[in-house]
Amino acid sequence: MSERLETLEDYYKRLSHLHDSNGEINDFEIGKSHFNISPRKYCDFKTPYNRRDFYKISLIIGKGWFKYGKHELYIDRPVLFLPALNIPYSWVCDTNQQEGYFCLFNQEFFSGSQAFEPFKKTSLFKEWSKPIIFLDEEQLQTVTTFLNNMYRLNHSNYPFRCNAIKSNLAAILHLALEWRVDDLEVENQSGPVRLYRMFDELLHKQFPLDSPAYPLELRTAADFATRLHVHVNHLNASVKSVTNLTTTQLIKRKVFEEAKNLLTYTDWNVAEIGYTLGFEEPTHFNNFFKKNAQVAPLRFRQESK
């Protein structure tokens, strides 16, 4: 797996270098919710083989080669592409006739709406799922309609355009789940992938948290290993081989995501939120949150409101 991780900041810098423009970079702030959509007629002829730390959905109309993880595939008909964050991929155009759209968004955008919560427990953007959906004419027209709406909204002055964009994006994700009938089954996967999938399902099954009376049950890699009846070293090695991240990093990332949701959508006090997420001392939660958000929990709550 490629060790290179392209961030949104890297992407926009690469874009400005290729097109001698940095206008779009000014709209991006690290740690803030971000969404963008562009027609593919302006896409690069070749994209680098990297992992990305941002989500990307592409409607590809045109011919070319995909390299996704260890697999290569020639595309010669319309596809919807929904890659996992931790899998490296690249695209090489075979012709200059490229159409469609690509939209990209970060974790803050994806986590900032209850409309996206159901998708976190599905196969979408997961390492074991197949990221390419071939589209027939009717499906192509349906997806294009939603993407046209998102592109128009993204360039409008409509005050609720962000919510409207999220509604259109959620509709596309629902369609992707409805159409994708060829996801890999557990028994067809390698040992590390099977174990990672079971870990991932356990992790996401715990959220969202409903009440301080029911704090997070599985908090550490050892907790998950015990529940899965494997040695913690085996779990860590399997997760690392699939995602290039440690088990602890994935747990902390999910806990941080839930912390932001609880601060935004509940009236629980900070101590209650910290305790529910497994922090016995409020100062430990404050330090954890500030390290990841670069702002204290109370300040984050005030800004999110």
Q: Which of 20-34, 42-56, 73-87 has the highest average model confidence (pLDDT)? A: 73-87
Confidence class for position 17, pLDDT limits 50, 70, 90: low
R_g (Cα) of the chain, nearest Å: 20
205 pLDDT above the threshold of 60: yes
Phi-psi label, residue 31: left if phi above 0, alpha if psi -120 to 50, beta otherwise: left
CA distance 215 to 213: 6
What local confidence, expressed as pLDDT, does residue 18 receive? Answer: 57
Question: DSSP alpha helices (H): ranges in the chain?
Answer: 8-19, 107-111, 137-154, 161-179, 191-205, 221-228, 232-243, 247-265, 270-276, 282-293, 297-304
What's the pLDDT tens digit per position in 115-152?
888 888 788 888 878 899 999 999 999 999 999 999 99
Q: Does domain 189-304 have CATH number 3.40.640.10?
A: no
User: What topology is assigned to 5-179 in CATH?
Assistant: Jelly Rolls (2.60.120)
User: Angle at which helices 297-304 and 282-293 pack, to 10 degrees?
Assistant: 60
According to the model, what pLDDT value does residue 189 have? 63
Q: What is the pLDDT of residue 210?
A: 86
Dump pLDDT digits (tens) for 241-275: 888 889 999 999 999 989 998 998 899 999 999 99
The residues spanned by each domain of the chain are 5-179, 189-304
In the chain, % of residues over pLDDT 70: 89
Q: How confident is the model at residue 99 (pLDDT cuts 50, 70, 90)?
A: very high
How much is the pLDDT for 19? 52
How confident is the model over 189-214, as a mean pLDDT?
A: 87
Assign 201 a pLDDT band (cuts: 50, 70, 90): confident
90 is written with which tokens?
A: 């690249």
Question: H or E stretch including 5?
Answer: strand 5-6
229 vs 185, more confident: 229
Mean pLDDT of 284-293: 94
Whether the per-residue pLDDT at 20 is higher than 50: the answer is no
For residue 181, pLDDT beyond 80: no
Structure-token pair, residue 284: 């430990």
**DSSP SS3 for 84:** coil
Q: Using 50, 70 and 90 to split pLDDT, how confident is the model at 21? A: very low
Name the 3-class secondary structure at 292.
helix
SS (H, E, C) 90-150: EEEECCCCCEEEEEEECHHHHHCCHHHHHHHHCCCCCCCCCCEEECCHHHHHHHHHHHHHH
- What does the pLDDT read at residue 42? 57
**Mean pLDDT of all residues belonging to the chain:** 87
Q: Percent of the chain having pLDDT more than 90? A: 55
Res 3: pLDDT: 55
Report the pLDDT value the prediction gives residue 239, as an integer from 0 to 100: 93
Averaged pLDDT for residues 169-194: 76
pLDDT digits (tens, 9 = 90+) for 215-224: 999 999 999 9
